[in-house]
Amino acid sequence: MPTPPAATPPETAADGSAAPPQGAADGVDYLDQVMAEIDAEVRRRRASGDLPAGLERELDELFLEFSPVGLQGRARLRETLALVDGAAYVDIAVPVASEKPIGTYVKRLLRTGLGWYLRYIVDQVVKFAWAVSRMLHVVVDHVEELEAAVESTRSPDLPVEVARTGEPATDWWRPVAIEALAGVAGRVVHGDCGDGSLVAALVAAGVDAYGVDPSEPALAAALDDGLDVRAEPVLDHLEVVADEALGGLVLSGSVQWLRPNERQRLVDLAASRLTPGGVLVLHSATPASWAAGAPTLVRDLAPGRPLHAGTWAFLLAGRGFSVAAPLTGGPDRTLARVGASTPDADTVNAAIDAINELLLGPGAYLLVATRER
């Protein structure tokens, strides 16, 4: 039996022997490397056929017998289907061996006597099982084709570590958000809560707040402070919240670069998860400031783009929200007017005003929307 090829340990000591990984990330990377090598070895051995097929199936069935059904279906679709195929045949040649000589005779007699009856029944059972098996093959083929098609059209997520660099550095909007959420009935969740500073501020203001964020490292400080924060994207989180369970919802960060279908799903979820009278607070960079100021990696890799405040207001109003006029803020990106002593000052200032109005303007906006009762 060949030994699987060895992963190179993440670090090597001076004498050439393997040294353990130093950090958690190193350990996980090393684990992935070792498991990849083992998986490759398992595939090689399966292909070699060094275990009789019947025995291998028997051992696989033994494993699946004690595995959760859901996991079997998701992770092992083809293998589970092979087990269905194997079980679709019903053998009526009942074993007749017995420890007692008369036993074998009696069993053989019973098998012969009942064979005509069992065959009639079993033929129908096997036909049904094979029909079901064929149907499952068609379904699995179809599912895999669909998965491949969907995967080929799906734009990748914005990597979390890249997304962090694209968030506005200012927190001008937070006092407004806290004021809007103070006194709401029910819990308030901050999607993309980062280090949890807004959650902490809301809690300090007497709001029953918690947070979610896709980046686990970003949450470390909030967890140490005992805040209720969880490592998951806001869309995933809203899926597991009951209807009308939330008093408030704060959206920032990833709301700026959602895909169109995700954006619509988010609006639908916000409408259903907030109680009547619940408050939604949405903070986003303006499209112009994002296009001009967001890091190039974010702009290039983001699957979507920020919307104008008016577009969000339109979408939210369509789902039963009453939307207040947007507030603007963020870094002052406007060009300063020149002094009167500058030659052609009036002409230059007119041009600056036009540039400020058309191209620059405020860096970010805040929308406060209330779910109508």
Q: Which of residues 283-312 bind other proteins (CB under 8 A)?
A: none
The C-alpha atoms of residue 213 and residue 231 are separated, in whole angstroms, by 5
| Max CA separation in the chain (angstroms) | 123
Which positions from 39 to 58 touch other proteins by CB under 8 A, shown as an x/- string? x-xx--xx----x----x--
Question: Does position 245 bind other proteins by CB under 8 A?
Answer: yes
Which positions from 3 to 42 touch other proteins by CB under 8 A, shown as an x/- string? xx-xx-xx------xx-xx--x-xxxxxx--xx-xxx-xx
The CB-of-278 to other proteins minimum distance in angstroms stands at 12
Q: How many residues bind other proteins (CB under 8 A)?
A: 60
The CB-of-198 to other proteins minimum distance in angstroms stands at 17
Identify the DSSP state of 187: E
Which positions from 200 to 239 touch other proteins by CB under 8 A, shown as an x/- string? --------x-x---------------x-x-xx-----xx-
Say if residues 223 and 138 touch (Cβ distance below 8 Å): no
Task: Tokens for 294, please give them.
Answer: 């967001």
Q: Which of residues 129-188 bind other proteins (CB under 8 A)?
A: 186-187
The C-alpha atoms of residue 309 and residue 48 are separated, in whole angstroms, by 61
The C-alpha atoms of residue 223 and residue 188 are separated, in whole angstroms, by 17
End-to-end CA separation in angstroms for the chain: 71
The C-alpha atoms of residue 91 and residue 224 are separated, in whole angstroms, by 61
The CB-of-271 to other proteins minimum distance in angstroms stands at 16
Work out the burial of residue 306: count CB atoms within 10 Å of its CB; fewer than 13 is exposed, 13-18 middle, 19 or more buried. Answer: buried
The C-alpha atoms of residue 42 and residue 342 are separated, in whole angstroms, by 78
Residues found near other proteins in the complex (CB under 8 A): 1, 3-4, 6-7, 9-10, 17-18, 20-21, 24, 26-31, 34-35, 37-39, 41-42, 45-46, 51, 56, 59-60, 62-63, 65-72, 75-76, 186-187, 189, 208, 210, 226, 228, 230-231, 237-238, 240-242, 245-246, 273
